[in-house]
Amino acid sequence: MRESDRERPEPQPKKPLGIAVGSDHPGYEVKCALMAALEGLGHRVTDVGTDSPERCDYPDYAERVAAAVSAGEADRGVLVCGTGIGMSIVANKFPGVRAAVVWDRYSTEVSRSHNDANVLCLGARVLSPAELVELVGYWLTVEFEGGRHVRRVDKIRSIEERNFRGR
């Protein structure tokens, strides 16, 4: 744990959110644990699959979560594959989605506080299920800081609008 992580005050939980959760086969067990933890925190959880540890293709589930967040059907999304990378590539193809791969408490915090990420991408082969559940719980308490970061997130939106216009 970084020294800066120990110095930060623990954020307080926010109001219940609608959260779409999806995984491929490497992330299936973690997804199940995450859903139970999120429901235990009072969040409204939508499971978009996969429904078993049988081999499947991660783009199918990343698309479902990202589409739900993009359309405003879910406040946030959580995706789990082997590394989180493939899921993030797919999720970031959707308007309004800012998907971030995280691997520790600091990257988790900054994904929200600086980047206003609304989809969290996790690697089931990178961290333990307990570590991933902890990171998701933390991510849901972190607020976007605004300030100097608003200009940068607005630039992301502007790039997105130029590239999705007319599609």
The per-residue pLDDT for 72 is 98
47: left (phi over 0), alpha (psi -120 to 50) or beta: beta
String of DSSP letters for 49-70 = ---SSS---HHHHHHHHHHHHH
The DSSP 8-state label assigned to residue 134 in this structure reads H
Confidence of residue 86 (pLDDT cuts 50, 70, 90): very high
Contact predicate 103/126, CB 8 Å:
yes
Contact predicate 77/91, CB 8 Å:
yes
List the chain domain ranges: 17-164
Query: Residue 101's CB: how many other CB atoms inside 10 A?
Result: 22
Q: Per the CATH hierarchy, to which homologous superfamily does domain 17-164 belong?
A: Sugar-phosphate isomerase, RpiB/LacA/LacB (3.40.1400.10)
Please give the order of strands across the beta sheet that includes 18-23: 44-47, 18-23, 76-81, 119-123, 99-101
Question: Residue 42: exposed, middle, or buried by beta-carbon count in 10 A (0-12, 13-18, 19+)?
Answer: exposed
pTM of the model as a whole: 0.90
Please give the positions annotated as active site: 81, 114
Digit-coded pLDDT (tens) for 91-127: 999 999 999 999 999 999 999 999 999 999 999 999 9
What is the average pLDDT across 126-148? Answer: 96
The per-residue pLDDT for 1 is 43
